[in-house]
Chains A and B, each alone.
Chain A
């Protein structure tokens, strides 16, 4: 079956630091890949997505590239802000549903 593995948190950074959250997946074929973000007390929101190999998804300064050869979809941001503090979920679409990683909490301090 499908599975997603992402780095455990929390990830603690100072404002303006560089962010990487690792995500790898196991799936048949070439699924669409996603990053969702969950702010405290809220539901999940789509952050970015990529639908085929070598695609780069980007939004709000975040980027992730679909790497077929390493089955990875790592999330990066060049300069994080306090407002980026949230839980980030990597996910893939397959069998009509999403499969999620366990989530990575990001804490950004001023």
Chain B
């Protein structure tokens, strides 16, 4: 099993560009989440999903969109990148309160 796979691992964007961070899991978990990690801030929840077709906002949702058309995939879209979105992004899938994390995507917006 691959677990949780995030792509790409690294990305540099120019301000105003859009992109999609991919997240896929092969564990058939219903719960999936996106977090961003910034120095001194821990992990903050961006969006989450409790199943296909159901998404909700977390603590810091502005500037990000998500959708969940299948159980396996939970992409995160940046509509118009801003330097404040420079961060490390982690996707997680969860079963029975235990979360499994991807390796992260390091995004730099210049």
Contact = CB atoms under 8 A, between A and B. Distances in A.
A95 B44 CA distance: 14
Contact of B104 (A43, A97, A98, A101): A43
Given A96-B50, A97-B58, A98-B92, A43 B101 contact: yes
Interface residues of B, number: 23
Interface in A57-110: 89, 93, 96-103
Grouping DSSP codes into helix (H, G, I), strand (E, B) and loop, the B interface class, with mixed when no group exceeds half, is strand
Interface in B20-72: 31, 33, 35, 40-45, 48, 50, 58
A24 interface: no
Interface string B67-103: 0000000000000000000000010101001111111
Interface residues of A, number: 19
Interface of A: 32, 34, 42-46, 49, 51, 89, 93, 96-103
Interface of B: 31, 33, 35, 40-45, 48, 50, 58, 90, 92, 94, 97-104
28 contacts: A32-B97, A34-B99, A42-B104, A43-B101, A43-B102, A44-B43, A44-B92, A44-B101, A45-B101, A46-B100, A49-B97, A51-B97, A89-B42, A89-B43, A93-B97, A96-B31, A96-B50, A97-B48, A97-B94, A98-B43, A98-B45, A98-B92, A98-B99, A99-B45, A100-B42, A100-B44, A102-B42, A103-B42
